[in-house]
Amino acid sequence: MQLIHEIPGLRQTLAGQTEIAFVPTMGNLHEGHLALVRQARLAAPQGQVVASIFVNRLQFAPHEDFDRYPRTLKHDCELLAAAGCDIVFAPDEREIYPELQTYKVHPPVDLDQILEGHFRPGFFVGVCTVVLKLFNIVQPSIAVFGKKDYQQLMVVRQMVSQLALPIKILGGETVRSGEGLALSSRNAYLSDEQRVEALRLSQALKALIAGWQAGGRDIAALEAWAMAQLREHGWEPDYIALRRQHDLGSPEPGQALVALAAARLGSTRLIDNFEVG
């Protein structure tokens, strides 16, 4: 496996490759990322699997954890090599943003300003801008994103479709601990006690789904009830929501749905979701 830090070197190495499967990450990798790399490997058996590691300042608000986000390049590279990655692209900030990034990708308001976008203004602009830039640098034929960041996957899919990028976007299933905690780089911030408490987020989502499946149709009341469960145990929920899988709009019976949540446990913000039907 090759580790490349600069754009010209990466372009030279990939020149002439027609099958490139790409997994963009911010590093501090866990089994969830490695599953995406294995999925990329399977999707492009004869091609090159490229993973990027870049903590993208543009998608963090000033009060968020950009500075304390764990940087673990050496260990990440060992994990990536074992998972079948061919090339790691790990640029520094000057490589990706040599000047102030004034051209940015703004997703449509109906996706950009709901759920994650409502609570993290500017987040999807930062994500889309760096993802488009990484796509231009790597020029993949396939890119794999985790379903754990459900709205991010949808935003990227729409960007690729509307901008006619020749890239097939694959969604990777969320990987969970034995107890059911969705793997996340941010789990590293949790104390042992919080790690146990963190399971309540997926439980609250399952309770919301159970309420819907039992015939509850007052979605606002179901969501408020699920959030109250979390608050009782010291969480600060941003949202727990039941939405259509297709576009994250308000659900109707008979449609494929997704339950999504974001909540803060201490100073750590966790997200999770489950598809229904």
Active site residues: 33
Least CB distance from residue 126 to ligand PAF, whole Å?
7
Residues with Cβ < 8 Å from 66, sequence gap 6 or more?
55, 57, 60
Q: Which is nearer to ligand PAF, 44 or 155 (CB)?
A: 155
Least CB distance from residue 101 to ligand PAF, whole Å?
13
Q: Which is nearer to ligand PAF, 30 or 176 (CB)?
A: 30
Dihedral (CA of 118, 120, 122, 127) sign: negative
Residue 26 lies near ligand PAF (rule: CB under 6 A): yes
Residue 48 lies near ligand PAF (rule: CB under 6 A): no
What number of chain residues touch ligand PAF (CB under 6 A)? 10
Residue 273 lies near ligand PAF (rule: CB under 6 A): no
Q: Which of 14, 25, 142, 189 binds ligand PAF (CB under 6 A)?
A: 25
Please state, in angstroms and rounded to a whole number, the distance separating the CA atoms of residues 89 and 97: 15
Residue 149 lies near ligand PAF (rule: CB under 6 A): yes
Binding residues (CB under 6 A) for ligand PAF: these are 24-26, 56, 59, 127, 130-131, 149, 152
